[in-house]
Amino acid sequence: MNSIAAWLLTLAGAAALIALGCAVRSGRGWLISSLSASGFALASAAVVLTTGDGWTWQAGFHLGTAGIHLRMDAMSALFLALLAVLGGAGALYSREYWNEWEHPRSAPAGRLWWSSLLLSMALVLVSSDGLQFLIAWELFALSAWRLIILDSRHAAVRQAGWLYFAASHAGTLCLFGFFASLAARTGSWDLGPLRDQSDFAPLLWLALIGFGLKAGLFPLHIWLPSAHANAPSHISAILSGVAIKMGIYGLVRFTGWLPLPAGLPWVVASLGVVSAVLGVVFALGQHDLKRLLAYHSLENIGIILIGLGFALLAAEQGNVVWGQLALAGGLLHVWNHGLFKALLFLGAGSVVHATGTREMSRLGGLWRTMPWTTALFGLGAAAIAGLPPLNGFVSEFLVYLGLFEATLAHGPSAWAAIPAAVLLGMTGALALACFVKVCGVVFLGAPRSPAAEGAHECGRLMRTAMGVLAAACVAIGLLPVVFWPAVARVVEAWQPAWTARQPAPAPLEVLTFVHVVLALLAGAVGAELWRHVHRGRVGRAVTWDCGYAAPTARMQYTASSFAEIITGWFVWILRPVRHEHPVEAVLPVRAMRSGHTPETVLEGIIEPSARGVLRVSTAVRRLQHGRVQSYLLYTLIGLAALALLIVMHRAG
Amino acid sequence: MMNPVSEMPLRLAVWLLLAPLLPGIVNKVKAWVAGRRGPPVLQLYFDLAKLWRKGVVVSTLASPGFLLGPAVAWVAVVGAALLMPLGPSLAGAGFRGDFLVLIYLLALARFCTAWAAMETGSAFEGMGAAREVSYAVLAEAAIIAAVLSLGVQTGSLSLSTMLAPAAGAGAALLAAGLFVVLLAENCRVPFDDPNTHLELTMIHEVMVLDHSGPPLAAILHGASVKLLLFSVLLVQAVLPIGQFAPWAGAGVLAAGVLGVTVGVGFVESLLARLAFRRVPLLLTTAFLLCLFALLVAWKGGPS
């Protein structure tokens, strides 16, 4: 029992309720109480993660058949810490980004639903009762939906909201089935470890679909790109940083508590690999900045699931060493992805705020007017591409180590670990390609449109929010050893048989050293080169253009031309759509060529089948038209059929 | 075996001072095959010294990242080189998974070079950067398959123990695969032609088209360190360097690197550059060679 953590969380809850209360009337009060709620929640999570002691609390009274049952252990604390950091940063950012002056109507509503989203997600994390979990889950889904459609003037936003709403409820349906069957079999809504009840195992398949829809793993990601792209950017940040991690939380939580059905580890690991590779491939095909970032969520969820999948394989085969490493890597990637993806979405928000467009081929050269955003976005890009010495590399390193150890163990899981390791390597290289493209096209070079030329740097609050997230990315990157115990405690909470209370693995300690040295050296050499160059003569001239007399900004490489080589390899899944008016005469009057990459699963599978269902229902609906004569005829036919059946039965 | 910390300056000196020899040797071999005298073997040293003293011309579009990119890329390549053992006498400390850090440091260098290329807003440089990052995807897959095969072969995850014994039955496959990766990663013929001055057909050279003076020196030196790094990796992966006495090992390693460099020179003299359509095919072949080496190691390695 850890009463300090419990009291801190109570304080956080109280502050969050105050924030909810004053969200509509007072923006300043809302910000202060939101930030203090974040601070208390972070402190509470930190206490649980450092001491390893959780707490539980059960109300004395009952609501119908369900009581109120809260529980916080290291696993809840891990996700709660991320929620607290991103919630605080997002609140700070939104004060300036979605302010009263530009959005008089939706700003108060946005604050209200923001607080309600954060509260309901926190409630999901500490729920230890099935019914309460479902209620909190539904509240969380609804708040997220209201936030996605905050700017509901645009049809695209409403459509994205509808898709999210539908997908989210399909998931909730599965979860309802999951929790209800669990409660029916155990006789209570209480949740807890049930590892020895082997007949519960098949229920995890329902959980995989329900939580998988929320996490957005391939091919259940259909709602994710449009929702993330069309929501205001601080909403995209919290959706991508925390909301989809709720699905991961559910998967990690219940795979730890329930017995595993045969085959689930293999399915989770392969879904992870597929999501990772295809997520980044789809991202490369996009030219909408925020849509591209949304597909990268798919990639990173894939990396997390590779970690979880191999941990499940290890649990099944009783191999501790690589299971721990893979799971620790996956869990650390939950934090890392939350941090750098939120940073990138907030950076994208600054770009959209300054230029009014998300279309990358209309941007360019923003570093001149937006140096802070450029630097912070560049840092986030290096982190998400998994480059040392930043945090993305640390978690990928742990996952890789798990995969390599699994290969050396020579068991059946090595057959999965070899392709997973190779494909993870390719994912990393693809992500690097994608973020060179984003940074190069959006921030570097020459502005491609007047909007990009007239951009302006974002304000202080927005910069602070991004700075906090960037600092967290650097901290985890440079000092991974400090964060290891927290992750190790969660591994232990997941599988108590793996007593992970051990010092950080030796490679992680060396990695810490390597990262610090690398960062120092890069700084020193960079400064020296800079000094040396500026001691000499520095001339400025136009970029080498082969002596062409009239270069324009439109001659630069664009997002699609940059990605063309790689998207060419993946035409079979991307199925890009091209619109072309070829060059015809000697002096052509007009010629154009453009293209976009549709969402293959949504437009190729879900929409046609939905149209099929609609067509059948429309055909059936013709029977219902309100003419009494026909209804009498139906009755007559029905009676005759029944009579015929009876007669035939008698005869037979 | 020396103390890993005290041997660090020596290793650093070997990497920094010997690396610029390699492009000189390649050029000498090419000149010899073509019947020319060619530039002196030490030409790159003279070029570096000259560039370091020169002024810089920077594109009007470029941000400070244009100068910092080459610096960070150089640090990353040298850092990667320091993780690579240099024969039995300078094997370094090593830790489990150090080759991953090496691979990702090279990726960091790639990110910085491509970033600096995109700074100029030039279509040529965009083209080069796009090619570099795209082909790296396949090269990365091949390298990971190669190190996995070494890992399975030796039952170890640290470069110093992985590279000490011979590569076993799959040595020929591994050597062929790694040699192709070496050519691709260092932008040699048949992937790229370091001599051409037609921007449309280049990869690496076109990315650094707008660099000049000291940053260009950093780029050229980094490229030579990278070439040495891949040659050392190839030689140590195939030959049982760890079984020689310390100084004999160093000699064998040096001879091997010289052999690889001469091989690069011959390839460059005798082959033409591939059409870009064919590049992925050749890299996929390299990946498959490494994968077969992995399967051979799997069948024959210690279990």
Q: Read off the pLDDT band of B104 (50, 70, 90).
A: very high
Q: Among A485, A503, A520, where does a domain finish? A: A520
- Letter for the amino acid at A580? E
Compute the average pLDDT of residues A518-537. 94
At residue A501, does pLDDT exceed 60?
Answer: no
pLDDT of residue B46: 96
Note whether B98 contacts A: Cβ–Cβ < 8 A: yes
Find the closest chain A residue to B72 by CA distance: A522
DSSP strands (E only) in A421-465:
none
What is the distance between the alpha carbons of residues A51 and A49, in angstroms, rounded to a whole number? 6
- Helix, strand or coil for residue B233? helix
CA separation for the pair B50, A644 (Å, rounded): 104
Is the Cβ pair B140, A425 closer than 8 Å? Answer: yes
Number of domains in chain A: 2
Please classify residue B176 by burial: count the beta carbons closer than 10 Å to its beta carbon, then call 0-12 exposed, 13-18 middle and 19+ buried: middle
DSSP A578: E
Task: Name the residue range of residue A167's domain.
Answer: 3-181+192-520
- Of A92-96, A193-197, A326-330, give the lowest mean pLDDT range: A193-197
Q: How far is A299 from chain B (nearest CA, A)?
A: 15
Convert the pLDDT of each residue in A271-297 to its tens digit: 999 999 999 999 999 989 999 999 999
Burial letters A138-158, b for 16+ CB under 10 A, else e: bbbbbbbbbbbbbbeeeeebe
pLDDT at A641: 96
Share of chain A above pLDDT 70, in %: 98
The total number of residues shown for chain A amounts to 652
Mean pLDDT of B249-264: 94
- Lowest mean pLDDT of A406-415, A434-443, B95-104, B162-171, name the range: B162-171
Q: What is the pLDDT of residue B80?
A: 94
Q: How many CB atoms lie within 10 A of CB A547?
A: 5
Give the pLDDT of residue B30.
93
Instruction: Please check the confidence at residue B203 and state whether its pLDDT lies above 90.
Output: no
DSSP code string of A480-511 = HHHHHHHHHHHHHHH-TTS---SPPPHHHHHH
pLDDT at site B301: 54
- Flag whether A486 is in a domain: yes
Mutant choice from A533, A564, A567, A571 vs B, greatest count of B C-beta within 10 A: A533
pLDDT for residue A167:
93
Q: Do A382 and B294 touch (CB under 8 A)?
A: no
- Predicted confidence (pLDDT) at residue A463 exceeds the cutoff of 80: yes
Mean pLDDT, residues A19-47 taken together: 93
Q: How far apart are CA A165 and CA A178, in angstroms?
A: 20
From A543-547, A580-584, B150-154, the region with the lowest mean pLDDT: A543-547
Mean pLDDT over residues B19-37, rounded?
94
Q: Are A167 and A213 spatial neighbours (Cβ–Cβ below 8 Å)?
A: yes
A376, A337, A351: which is closest to A237 by C-alpha?
A337
Q: How far apart are the CA of A438 and the nearest CA of chain B, in angstroms?
A: 10
- A55 close to A65: Cβ distance less than 8 angstroms: no
**pLDDT number for residue B1:** 46
| Residues of chain A contacting residue B58, judged by C-beta atoms under 8 Å apart | 538-541
* Model confidence at B275: pLDDT above 90: no
Q: Which residues are A592's β-sheet partners?
A: A581
Of A211-215, A512-516, B155-159, B167-171, the range with the lowest mean pLDDT is: B167-171
What's the sign of the alpha-carbon dihedral A384, A388, A394, A398?
positive
Asked whether the beta carbons of B50 and B25 are under 8 A apart, the reply is no
Nearest to A440 among B71, B118, B143 (CB): B118
Residue that finishes a domain, picked among A462, A487, A520: A520
Tell whether A558 is covered by a domain. Answer: no
The span from the CA of A568 to the CA of A544, in Å, is: 29
Residue A448 has pLDDT above 70, yes or no: yes
Q: Do B96 and A388 touch (CB under 8 A)?
A: no
Binning pLDDT at 50, 70 and 90, where does residue A197 land? confident
Note the pLDDT of residue A502.
64
Percent share of chain A, pLDDT over 90 = 67
- Whether A334 shows a pLDDT value over 70: the answer reads yes
By DSSP bridging, strand A577-581 and strand A538-541 are: unpaired
The answer to whether the CB of B62 falls within 8 A of the CB of A542 is no
Is B280 in a helix, a strand, or coil? helix
Q: Which of A220, A225, A228 is nearest to A248 (CA)?
A: A220
Of B53, B137, B291, the CB nearest to A426: B137
Distance set, CA A258 to CA A255, A324, B111, B250 (Å): 6, 18, 43, 56
The domains of chain B are located at: 11-300
Chain A contact for B101 (CB, 8 A cutoff): yes
Residue A547 belongs to some domain of the structure: no
Compute the count of residue pairs across chains A and B with CB atoms less than 8 Å apart: 241
Q: What is the model's pLDDT at position A437?
A: 95
Mode of pairing for the β-strands spanning A55-63 and A66-72: antiparallel
Query: Across residues B237-262, what is the average pLDDT?
Result: 90
Joined together, the tokens standing for residue A335 give 């934090």
Q: Which of A367, A428, A537 sits opposite B55 (nearest CB)?
A: A537
**Cα of A436 to nearest chain B Cα, Å:** 6
Contact B105 A388 (CB under 8 A): yes
Q: What is the pLDDT of residue B4?
A: 64
Is the bond preceding A389 in cis, omega lying within 30 degrees of 0? Answer: yes
Nearest-CA residue of chain B relative to A365? B61
User: In degrees rounded to 5, what are phi and psi of residue A434?
Assistant: -65, -40
Give the contacts of A71 (CB within 8 A, at least 6 positions apart): A54, A55, A56, A57, A126, A127, A128
For residue A192, which phi and psi values (nearest 5 degrees)? 180, 180
**Residue to test with chain B: of A418, A449, A535, most B Cβ within 10 A:** A418
Query: A27 and A144: one domain?
Result: yes
Q: How far apart are CA B265 and CA A501, in angstroms?
A: 54
Report d(CA A270, CA A276) in Å as an integer: 10
- How crowded is residue A177: how many other Cβ atoms within 10 Å of its Cβ? 15
Could you tell me if A110 and A147 are in contact, meaning their C-beta atoms sit under 8 angstroms apart?
A: yes
User: What's A306-367 look like in SS3?
Assistant: HHHHHHHHHHHHCCHHHHHHHHHHHHHHHHHHHHHHHHHHHHHHHHHHHHCCCEHHHCCCHH
Q: How far apart are CA A283 and CA A278, in angstroms?
A: 8
Report the residue of chain A nearest B136, measured CA to CA.
A429
Q: State which H helix or E strand residue A621 sits in.
A: helix A607-621
Q: Are A175 and A134 in contact (CB under 8 A)?
A: yes
Q: Which has the minimum average pLDDT: A122-131, A573-582, B233-242?
A: A573-582
Q: What values do phi and psi take at A67, rounded to 5?
A: -100, -175
Looking at beta carbons, which residues of chain A come within 8 Å of B103? 425
Sequence letter at residue A146: R
Q: Residue A363 corresponds to which amino acid?
A: L
Burial of B39 from C-beta contacts in 10 A (0-12 / 13-18 / 19+): middle
Last residue of a domain, one of A490, A520, A550: A520
With an 8 Å Cβ cutoff, are B63 and A374 in contact? yes
Of A249-263, A462-476, A584-598, B5-19, minimum mean pLDDT range:
A584-598
Going along chain B, which residue ranges are E strands? Answer: 56-59
Take residue A22 and report the two structure tokens written for it.
């004053």
Closest Cβ opposite residue B130 in set A507, A544, A562:
A562
Chain A neighbours among B 219-278 (CB < 8 Å)?
A: none
Between A576 and B264, the more confident residue is B264
CA distance A330 to chain B (A): 17
ipTM of the complex: 0.95
| pLDDT band at B56; cut points 50, 70, 90 | very high
Q: Which residues of A touch B149 (CB under 8 A)?
A: none
pLDDT > 90? residue A433: yes
Query: Does B300 contact A at CB distance below 8 Å?
Result: no
> What's the angle, vertex CA A220, arms to CA A262 and CA A348, rounded to 5?
130
Strand partners, B57: A539
Per-residue pLDDT tens over the stretch A476-486: 999 999 999 89
Confidence of residue B303 (pLDDT cuts 50, 70, 90): very low
Q: Is residue A245 part of a domain?
A: yes
Residue of chain A minimizing CA distance to B217: A529
d(CA A511, CA A520): 14
Any idea what DSSP says for residue B89? Answer: T
Q: Which residue has the higher pLDDT, A2 or A105?
A: A105
